Structure 1
């Protein structure tokens, strides 16, 4: 339920457990002043200029807003930002060019942009416990490209988890820049879906890569960063931890941190971190001197190597509206409420996994240690594409996905991938997850039964109405 007094997306009985970043808090401060840390406007927010000038775009945006409100968004890489983040993204900061870094710009008029970028960098460093943060990468893929550009040379050998076994395109996939400009060797999981660290250590010893990516888009278990660091050090390879999916869980301490183990850490800002589209690159080392090349490529000079790889190596001016929105999201992530959000994401994921198992759905690794679940639909005699489509029909959004040792093709694989970050943001809890797991199981086991699908649609509608999204927000 939406509480109009405090704006929280939760049932009153669950307010302790649900984050409050969508609140329009009108509670007075001492002296009667309003709390200006969160918007106090309780009227509807609209985009009147857009709707008047370009009704076609406005209608499309409004339709997407309605879609997000009315479906169960369960793609684990998606989330809902706060309205404060949305406001920063739609600000006048998009007008300003700012090539360079704070205090070292190639354009004038950047005193306030410098303030914003320094806030974002300082908040990232404090949250993750590192000495350097770059917040200019446009998204996760450019961030990983910058790391490769800064740390290794074309043709050098890199390693990453194979895409079909849960890895990411930028970790060495053959049609990606990382597999075209570098000599890529991929590692895989075992038959049980887990990374075999002994097998990986043997492969690394034989291949002797210069850089090793660790991180995934569809791996439901925790990473042993300490063991991975030992493996990388055995051949003096850089260890790069891509924590795009789990950054929020690292902050909430529901997943071990790679800090102190990985040489460089990359993350997007829009998954469990719940910010705008963007990325952060983290590392330790001597203070960055982005205007001059370091005397050598070494861990000592990682901050300078990273900064110079982002600009001027790959990008021009940063997107200042994005930087501001990242700063807002990082401030939100520093609150106790965000830690509770991370805990609830985990509780929800485990409850959902158990509900799916109870429905007879096979899960890769048998469950989850994080925010996502990878299901093998082979025993149900239904492909991932068909499953994605039929669940779309009833208002459940997830994605088809390859599973380890999949015998099917990527456009119609054997699995589906789903997760809990977005629904947790809306205030869903474990009981809701048990209901969702049950209806997913019922639909997938009898996907042509219209009675079952109609029942599922009714349940989805009840759940989304119980947990409203962006009350009062409109485009038209």
Structure 2
């Protein structure tokens, strides 16, 4: 068997049945476990799930097909599956305080597609934040199906502040009269003003959709305002800050429940992934515990502390900082393209993603910025006192990227590994 280069030969494979059946794949999984254990993961959409979530994801629920909804299935033998789905729904409704929850969407993009199917017809106008400004592909951006099948109009942020100008959003909404208005995105470092969006949606006659995929865990933990009093529909993934499996949920007011359910099934997909539904239920149970509230607030505290430390080292942060879990850096003043910096930091054991910044003159695959976040490092137990060291590593890594100093990157990687060894990652099968 050829082990991947990053897999330590002296460590046993951690999945015995898989190792016996497919040792090559087992070795790759082992190598990924080791990589996640040794590196500082700063991609804001990533996290570590608990061992309980992992176990629920890999149960015999995988074996069961369950088209339809609890009590209204097209297959027999649903006695236990119905209870699993009802449990996940009840926990979602209780945690977020919503009238209705659908836990069947396969992921965030299909969940957003179901919203279109529920409330719009092909060719209708929809409105969302432009992708280069921090929005999401499925908010009507041109290369997405949502931009091809619907007429997408986009709002952005002010070039001087990096913040949304709600007067401009209102003017655009009243001019275009969209069926849907999306708020939320993938690179928004500031608190989303759901009330302001709701007022604009009411005035323009639109359905307001809050896409809280990135901040769902912060909302559940009370570290970010909730969209529930304001939005007609809430779309979210169940991973990221919520620390669940790769899945999604749609939540809504009761008046929209039937439209949402019909759009998910049979409108968009077939049978739900029952093992994922179970893992979502576990994650929601964990998020209802007092310790999760502490976690959510620690994520924000760490992000703010990291932003302050980066600003002190001369980094240009979009909007000047952060209110949530993520930071968007414009590396133009550092004279290093985002992609070059991201790849160098990866070699230093610091995992980030290169990202466009608002009004970026560079192309999306070679942008000016880097996006980082604190959910994963907070899950490992790192706190505000560790953020200056993280900022120092980033600073040294970006400098090494500019100068081509591979020895400096190797030194950083060793330092990162030492700290990570002191803070074991949840859910990994080896220390």
Report the TM-score when normalising by structure 1: 0.86
Question: Is the aligned partner of 1:166 residue 2:134?
Answer: yes
Q: Say which SS state the counterpart of residue 76 (structure 2) adopts.
A: coil
Q: Say which SS state the counterpart of residue 63 (structure 1) adopts.
A: helix
Instruction: Name the residue aligned to 1:345.
Output: 299
Tell me, yes or no, if the aligned pair for 2:33 and 2:428 is still in contact at 8 Å.
no
Question: Is the aligned partner of 1:469 residue 2:425?
Answer: yes
Q: CA deviation at 1:46?
A: 3.9
Residues in 2 aligned to 1:182 and 1:471: alpha-carbon distance in whole angstroms:
41
Question: Is the aligned partner of 1:429 residue 2:398?
Answer: no
Tell me, yes or no, if the aligned pair for 1:45 and 1:472 is still in contact at 8 Å.
no
Residues in 1 aligned to 2:121 and 2:45: alpha-carbon distance in whole angstroms:
30
CA deviation string 1:207-261 (max 9, x = no partner)? 1111000011001000111111000001110000000000011111111100010
Tell me, yes or no, if the aligned pair for 1:120 and 1:326 is still in contact at 8 Å.
yes
Tell me, yes or no, if the aligned pair for 1:359 and 1:442 is still in contact at 8 Å.
no
Gaps of 5+ in 1: 1-43, 286-299
Q: Say which SS state the counterpart of residue 240 (structure 2) adopts.
A: coil
Question: Is the aligned partner of 1:137 residue 2:105?
Answer: yes
Instruction: Name the residue aligned to 1:146.
Output: 114
1:263 counterpart (189, 212, 232): 232
Residues in 2 aligned to 1:157 and 1:445: alpha-carbon distance in whole angstroms:
45
Q: CA deviation at 1:471?
A: 7.6
1:182 counterpart (133, 150, 159): 150
Q: CA deviation at 1:462?
A: 1.6
1:405 counterpart (359, 375, 399): 359
Instruction: Name the residue aligned to 2:6.
Output: none
Q: Say which SS state the counterpart of residue 158 (structure 1) adopts.
A: strand
Q: CA deviation at 1:445?
A: 2.4
Do the aligned partners of residues 124 and 388 (structure 1) sit closer, same or farther apart at CA in structure 2, a change above 3 Å counting?
A: same
Residues in 2 aligned to 1:141 and 1:422: alpha-carbon distance in whole angstroms:
22
Residues in 2 aligned to 1:472 and 1:132: alpha-carbon distance in whole angstroms:
34
Q: CA deviation at 1:453?
A: 2.2
Q: Say which SS state the counterpart of residue 375 (structure 1) adopts.
A: strand
Q: CA deviation at 1:474?
A: 5.2
Q: Which moved more, 1:428-437 or 1:452-461?
A: 452-461
Instruction: Name the residue aligned to 2:409.
Output: 453
Residues in 2 aligned to 1:180 and 1:320: alpha-carbon distance in whole angstroms:
32
Task: Give the paired residue count.
Answer: 417
Instruction: Name the residue aligned to 2:67.
Output: 99
Q: CA deviation at 1:449?
A: 2.6
Cα RMSD after superposing both structures: 1.4
Instruction: Name the residue aligned to 2:283.
Output: 329
Residues in 1 aligned to 2:84 and 2:273: alpha-carbon distance in whole angstroms:
12
Q: CA deviation at 1:472?
A: 7.1
Q: Say which SS state the counterpart of residue 416 (structure 1) adopts.
A: strand
Tell me, yes or no, if the aligned pair for 1:45 and 1:473 is still in contact at 8 Å.
no
Tell me, yes or no, if the aligned pair for 1:225 and 1:261 is still in contact at 8 Å.
yes
Residues in 1 aligned to 2:355 and 2:364: alpha-carbon distance in whole angstroms:
7
Do the aligned partners of residues 471 and 327 (structure 1) sit closer, same or farther apart at CA in structure 2, a change above 3 Å counting?
A: closer
Q: Which moved more, 1:306-315 or 1:440-449?
A: 440-449
Gaps of 5+ in 2: 1-11
2:173 counterpart (204, 211, 235): 204
Residues in 1 aligned to 2:75 and 2:396: alpha-carbon distance in whole angstroms:
59
Do the aligned partners of residues 472 and 169 (structure 1) sit closer, same or farther apart at CA in structure 2, a change above 3 Å counting?
A: closer
Report the TM-score when normalising by structure 2: 0.95
Question: Is the aligned partner of 1:314 residue 2:288?
Answer: no
Q: Say which SS state the counterpart of residue 159 (structure 1) adopts.
A: strand
Residues in 1 aligned to 2:270 and 2:388: alpha-carbon distance in whole angstroms:
48
